[in-house]
Amino acid sequence: MALCQQVTARFSPSPPARLGVAVSGGSDSTALLILLHKWQQDGGPALHAVTVDHGLRPEAAEEAAHVARLCDGLGVPHEILHWQGWTGRGNLPDAARQARYALLSQWAVSHDLQDVALGHTATDQAETFLMRLAREAGVDGLSAMRPKRAIDGVTFWRPLLDATRESLRAMLRARGVEWVDDPTNEDQTYERVRARQALTQLESLGLDATQFGQVTQNLADVRDTLYHYALDAARNIARIEAGDLILDHAGFLNLPAEIARRVMQESLKWVSGAAYGPRGRAMEGLLVAVAQGDDKTLHGCRILHKGQDLRITREYQAVADQRAAPGSVWDGRWRLSGPQDSGLVIAALGKKGARQCPDRQKTGLPAASLWASPAVWNGEKLVAAPLAGLENGWSAHLLRDETAYFDAFVSH
Ligand SMILES: Nc1ncnc2c1ncn2[C@@H]1O[C@H](COP(=O)(O)OP(=O)(O)OP(=O)(O)O)[C@@H](O)[C@H]1O
What are the domain boundaries of the chain?
2-202, 215-315+403-411, 317-398
pLDDT over 80 at 90, yes or no? no
pLDDT over 90 at 8, yes or no? yes
Cα 192 to averaged position of ligand 1 atoms, centre (Å): 13
pLDDT at 236: 98
372-383 average pLDDT score:
96
DSSP secondary structure string for all residues of 131-176 = HHHHTT--HHHHSPPPSEEEETTEEEE-TTTTS-HHHHHHHHHHHT
Out of 27, 29, 70, 81, mutate this one to test ligand 1's pocket (max ligand atoms within 8 Å of CB): namely: 29
**How far is Cα 252 from Cα 166, in angstroms, rounded to an integer?**
47
Residues contacting residue 50 through CB under 8 Å, at least 6 positions apart? 20, 21, 22, 23, 78, 79, 80, 81, 104, 107, 116
Question: Residues 242-257: pLDDT tens digits?
Answer: 999 999 999 999 999 9
Work out the percent of the chain whose per-residue pLDDT is above 70: 99
- Find out whether 321 is annotated in a ligand binding site: no
- Find out whether 29 is annotated in a ligand binding site: yes
Say how many C-beta atoms besides its own lie within 10 A of residue 268's C-beta: 23
pLDDT over 90 at 348, yes or no? yes
- Find out whether 24 is annotated in a ligand binding site: yes
pLDDT over 70 at 1, yes or no? no
Write down the mean pLDDT value for the chain: 94
**pLDDT tier, 185 (very low <50, low <70, confident <90, very high otherwise):** confident
Q: What is the CATH number of domain 215-315+403-411?
A: 1.20.59.20
Reported pTM: 0.85
Answer whether 336's CB lies under 8 Å from 385's CB: no
Sheet holding 395-398: strands in order across?
Answer: 329-330, 334-337, 395-398
Pocket residues for ligand 1 (CB within 6 Å)?
22-24, 28-29, 51-52, 97, 100, 118-120, 124
What are the respective helix, strand and coil percentages of the chain, to the nearest 5? 50, 20, 30
65-90 average pLDDT score:
91
pLDDT over 70 at 157, yes or no? yes
327 in the Ramachandran plot: left (φ > 0), alpha (ψ -120 to 50) or beta?
Answer: left
Terminal Cα-to-Cα distance of the chain (whole angstroms): 33
Work out the percent of the chain whose per-residue pLDDT is above 90: 85
Q: What is the CATH number of domain 2-202?
A: 3.40.50.620
Same fold for the pair 2-202 and 215-315+403-411:
no
